[in-house]
């Protein structure tokens, strides 16, 4: 009887420890850590209704909170503070209309570096740079026991320049899943591609000028 009881206790412990781990998807790794994500993301409201954020984990030593800017407006509130929030905790980010432009805003509470954005063009002040850098990586999230299907967004919270730079570009400092969010992506052109494009335009202009002279 004692042996059976011990086996039952062990089996229960295994279920308690293994079951939740199996039911929790959590962090989705960024494929090329150490390299800034070249993908730009445009987030919009998928439908009229509320946007919810779910806390999906943090490895950051900084203390951060998440907020939402709708159509360029101010953030009305921040929530899901990284150092105290349990996995799967939800935060109502407010009512939106279908097609609204959404920018996720991470507020750095400690050491007080300011706000960084899911829109890279807004990050120049945070990065102490003339151009903003991409501080987010996003992909689809498949529901687990704690978080529903949604849009996974992971943040890199180190600035490009300054006392806490350079970033490690591993995009696992803060992880969230957002619902009622649609995503469009575009690639950031390489500097060499921009130069080649400019040279091509100049060549085309010269060719047209020569043709005009000969005709």
Residue 69 has a pLDDT of: 98
Residue 188 has a pLDDT of: 66
Q: Which residue has the higher pLDDT, 211 or 82?
A: 82
Closest of 181, 200, 144, 210 to residue 49, by C-alpha:
181
Report d(CA 132, CA 215) in Å as an integer: 47
Report d(CA 91, CA 189) in Å as an integer: 35
Domain ranges in the chain are 23-209
Banded pLDDT at 187 (limits 50, 70, 90): confident
Query: Which residue matches tokens 């490895």?
Result: 59
What are φ and ψ of residue 146, in 5° steps?
Answer: -105, -25
Residue 209 has a pLDDT of: 55
- What does the pLDDT look like over 65-100, one tens digit per residue? 999 999 999 999 999 999 999 999 999 999 999 999
Is the pLDDT score of 174 beyond 90?
Answer: yes
Q: Region of 28 please: left (phi>0), alpha (psi -120 to 50) or beta.
A: beta
HSE (CB half, 13 Å, CA atoms) of 123?
A: 24
- What does the pLDDT look like over 18-34, one tens digit per residue? 444 458 888 999 999 99
Is the pLDDT score of 200 beyond 60?
Answer: no
DSSP-assigned letter for residue 125:
H
Residue 208 has a pLDDT of: 53
């Amino acid at each position: 009887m004692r042996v059976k009881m011990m086996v039952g206790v062990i089996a229960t412990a295994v279920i308690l420890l293994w079951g939740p781990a199996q039911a929790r998807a959590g962090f989705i790794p960024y494929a090329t850590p150490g390299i800034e994500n070249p993908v730009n993301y445009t987030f919009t409201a998928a439908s009229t209704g509320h946007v919810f954020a779910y806390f999906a984990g943090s490895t950051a030593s900084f203390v951060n909170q998440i907020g939402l800017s709708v159509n360029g407006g101010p953030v009305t509130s921040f929530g899901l503070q990284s150092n105290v929030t349990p996995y799967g905790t939800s935060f109502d980010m407010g009512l939106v209309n279908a097609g609204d432009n959404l920018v996720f805003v991470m507020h750095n509470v400690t050491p007080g570096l300011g706000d960084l954005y899911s829109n890279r063009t807004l990050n120049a002040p945070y990065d102490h740079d003339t151009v903003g850098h991409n501080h987010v990586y996003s992909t689809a999230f498949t529901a687990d026991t704690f978080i529903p299907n949604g849009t996974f967004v992971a943040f890199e919270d180190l600035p490009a320049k300054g006392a806490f730079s350079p970033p490690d570009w591993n995009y696992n400092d803060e992880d969230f899943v957002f619902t009622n969010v649609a995503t469009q992506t575009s690639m950031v052109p390489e500097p060499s591609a921009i130069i080649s494009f400019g040279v091509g335009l100049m060549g085309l202009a010269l060719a047209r000028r020569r043709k005009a002279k000969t005709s």
